[in-house]
């Protein structure tokens, strides 16, 4: 009898609580996001070395746009830096994917995400998905549009 592999193939991480962590320590919320982002490479590397093949980071949801503009811009700056720096740090082993509505995050961030995906297109054997400007309802709508070839709106989804 062989032992079953108990390591999951895919692990998703919701990046939540960084702002609260900082506030409890008398720091600004953006300092929490900076500190949280510093942990991403180490967490991803730990999971990959444990045998996980795919890691998904829920980095910024559509609902996060309700936060103050300075905080949103600070989070976007963290994602922008990650997109610029991580392809070199992952040494050809981790392919990056950025999912969500990249049209809604500004041209500079959108282009940085696309460039990081292109730089890592041939990297293997691991995958790191970063969800930016995502939402469950939007993803269902996007899938419905793709599958049906018809225009589906948020209003038609509600009815």
- Residues with catalytic roles: 16, 64
Q: Bridge-partner residues for 95, per DSSP? A: 127
Q: Using DSSP, state whether 35 is helix, strand or coil.
A: helix
- Helices and strands per DSSP (H, E), number in the chain: 7, 4
Is-contact 152 141, C-beta < 8 A?
Answer: yes
For the chain, what is the largest distance between any 2 Cα atoms, rounded to a whole number of angstroms?
Answer: 57
* Residues β-bridged to residue 126: 94
Structure tokens at 125: 């054997």
């Amino acid at each position: 009898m062989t032992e079953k592999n108990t390591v999951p193939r895919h692990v998703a991480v919701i990046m939540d609580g960084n702002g609260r962590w900082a506030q409890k320590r008398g720091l600004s919320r953006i300092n929490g996001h900076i500190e949280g982002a510093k942990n991403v490479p180490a967490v991803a590397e730990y999971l990959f070395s444990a045998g996980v093949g795919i890691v998904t980071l829920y980095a910024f949801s559509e609902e996060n746009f309700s936060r103050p503009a300075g905080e949103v811009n600070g989070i976007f700056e963290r994602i922008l830096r990650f997109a610029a720096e991580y392809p070199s740090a992952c040494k050809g082993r981790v392919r990056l994917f950025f999912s969500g509505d990249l049209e809604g995050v500004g041209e500079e961030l959108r282009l940085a995400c696309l460039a990081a995906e292109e730089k890592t297109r041939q990297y293997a054997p691991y995958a790191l998905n970063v969800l930016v400007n995502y939402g469950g309802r939007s993803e269902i709508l996007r899938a419905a549009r793709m599958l049906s070839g018809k225009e589906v709106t948020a209003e038609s989804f509600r009815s």
